Structure formats: structure tokens, C-alpha cells
Chains A and B, each alone.
Chain A
């Protein structure tokens, strides 16, 4: 624990040579992603265990969303250009998901009889599912992996 203290602080001071992608305020982004991954997983767990037969397609989508949030969280933490690409793909998928499902849930509410994380642009989650991918994509664009920083 004490050993980690030293390396983490040294790394925070020299972000350029630091192998981990996320440092500074970006760690809060990772934390919020983690919370959202937990929320999405919890919701899809309840839907699938409790009443899967009611809306199998919507609930499968919920589970897929949960998995994507988990992968995005991991991809943000891990370094290397491979993970960087994974982060782009998963966060873009979330952006698309919240926009498409958000719009459809307003235009044709019958398509989504039960709420998902993305319904009405994530209203049930304080619109965090809408804001987070924007911040995530912005963060990724600002922090391209440096050459040789693969771990």
C-alpha cells in the first residue's frame, strides 16, 4: 500500500511517461463509469431474473448495455493502443445506444414498455448515460496513447 503511494504520486506528476491511460481528474470519469456499469448490471440482473419473459429483446439489450459499460470501464483503466481502440468502440456504442434508444423511447414508447438505462436519454439515471460518453470520447480524443507506452 505504502509502496503504491510513491509510484502513484510519481506517475501523477509525470503523466507523459506513465503507462496507465487515466490519471488526474480522468480517474473520476473511470469511477463514474464503474458506478454506471454497476447500475446497468443491477438493472439487467433484476429484469432477467425477475421477468425475462415479459420483454426478452429489451432485457437482452439491457444486459448487452451492462456488459459494454463494464468493458468500457476496463478499457479506460488499461493502457495500450489495443485497449484504446476498445475504449473508442465501447464508448461510441454507448453514445449511439443512448441517442437511438432515447429517441425511440420518446417517439414510440411502446417499443420499450419497461425502462432501460437509455430510456428518454437516461432520465432515470440523472442523464448520466447521455453525458458520460460525451466526456469519455472527449477524454479519449485528448489523450491519445503515446508511442512505446504499451504495457
Chain B
């Protein structure tokens, strides 16, 4: 993983999460803004997947448990898709809050992925 890219991902996910939760509690149904914010989080995760696959070949070797790392990555990739699907089926303001919840969960997961990548298996 790349530290600055992790920081960007966590920051974007937190902003997207807070934005969606605020919009949701303000009574907004899922919109281009809230879905777009979560789509951006997903896009960054896809870039992260490529980074994770390519990084070891460029000297950025992970030292942690890669099974755990990829379980987090795959789970994180699924979350925005599930939340967006939910938002399209159930067009209520609570779906916007659900989108935000997913984004905040991803922020924590990406932070954990950075930890796992850099913490030697003990």
C-alpha cells in the first residue's frame, strides 16, 4: 500500500460518509451527489486493488497477513455496490444514511488494511 494514497482514501470515505449521513438525516433521498460520493469511494478502492497487486513487484513488499488483507479488500469492494443497490431499490432518506454508513465502514477498513500491510505476521 502507499501511505499517501491510503490517507486520500480514508479522507474521501470519511467526507462521503458524513455527507451522506447529513443528507439522509436532512430528508434527502439517494441522489447523484450521495451515490456519486460513494461511487468515488468505490473507484478509489478499485485503484487500491490494482496498487495492491502491482506494489510487490515494484519493491513495496507487504509484510503482513495477505489473506486478512485481501479479505478486507474484497469486503470493502462489495460494500458500496450493496449500499448502492439498496439505495436504488429503497428510495427513502434512510438509504442515504445507509450509503454513508457503508462509506464510514470503508474508511475504517482501509485504515486496517494499511496496518495489516505494514505489520509483520507475529
Say yes or no: A27 contacts B67, CB within 8 Å. Answer: no
When the two chains form the complex, which single residue of A27, A34, A38, A42 contacts B94, counting CB atoms closer than 8 Å? Answer: A27
**Which residues from A are CB-within-8-Å of B68?**
46, 50
B78 interface hit (Cβ, 8 Å) = yes
When the two chains form the complex, which single residue of B67, B75, B88, B101 contacts A31, counting CB atoms closer than 8 Å? Answer: B101
**Which residues from A are CB-within-8-Å of B91?**
4-5, 8-9
Say yes or no: A126 contacts B108, CB within 8 Å. Answer: yes
Interface size on A, residues (CB 8 A): 23
**Nearest 9 CB-CB pairings of A with B:** A31-B98, A27-B94, A42-B71, A46-B68, A5-B91, A50-B67, A28-B97, A35-B105, A42-B75
Q: What is the chain B residue whose CB lies nearest that of A8?
A: B90
A1 and B101 CA atoms in complex are apart in Å by 23
Query: Can you list 19 A-B pairs, Cβ within 8 angstroms, ordered by A?
Result: A4-B89, A8-B91, A9-B91, A9-B92, A24-B94, A25-B97, A27-B90, A27-B95, A28-B94, A28-B97, A28-B98, A31-B98, A31-B101, A42-B72, A45-B71, A46-B67, A50-B65, A50-B68, A126-B108
When the two chains form the complex, which single residue of B75, B92, B95 contacts A38, counting CB atoms closer than 8 Å? Answer: B75
**Which residues from A are CB-within-8-Å of B95?**
27
B82 interface hit (Cβ, 8 Å) = yes
Interface residues of A in 29-76 (CB under 8 A from B): 31-32, 34-35, 38-39, 42-43, 45-46, 49-50
Measured as residues with beta carbon below 8 angstroms from the partner, the interface class of chain B is: 20 to 34
A136 to chain B, nearest CB (A): 15
Q: What is the chain A residue whose CB lies nearest that of B25?
A: A25
Q: What is the chain B residue whose CB lies nearest that of A124?
A: B112
A12 interface hit (Cβ, 8 Å) = yes
Q: What is the chain A residue whose CB lies nearest that of B21?
A: A28
Say yes or no: A38 contacts B67, CB within 8 Å. Answer: no
Contact with A along B97-122 (1 / 0, CB 8 A): 11001100100100000000000000
A42 and B79 CA atoms in complex are apart in Å by 13
**Which residues from A are CB-within-8-Å of B65?**
46, 50
A32 and B65 CA atoms in complex are apart in Å by 26
B13 interface hit (Cβ, 8 Å) = no
Say yes or no: B92 contacts A1, CB within 8 Å. Answer: no
When the two chains form the complex, which single residue of B79, B88, B92 contacts A35, counting CB atoms closer than 8 Å? Answer: B79
Say yes or no: B71 contacts A32, CB within 8 Å. Answer: no
When the two chains form the complex, which single residue of B67, B82, B90, B92 contacts A34, counting CB atoms closer than 8 Å? Answer: B82
**Which residues from B are CB-within-8-Å of A25?**
94, 97
A84 and B101 CA atoms in complex are apart in Å by 25
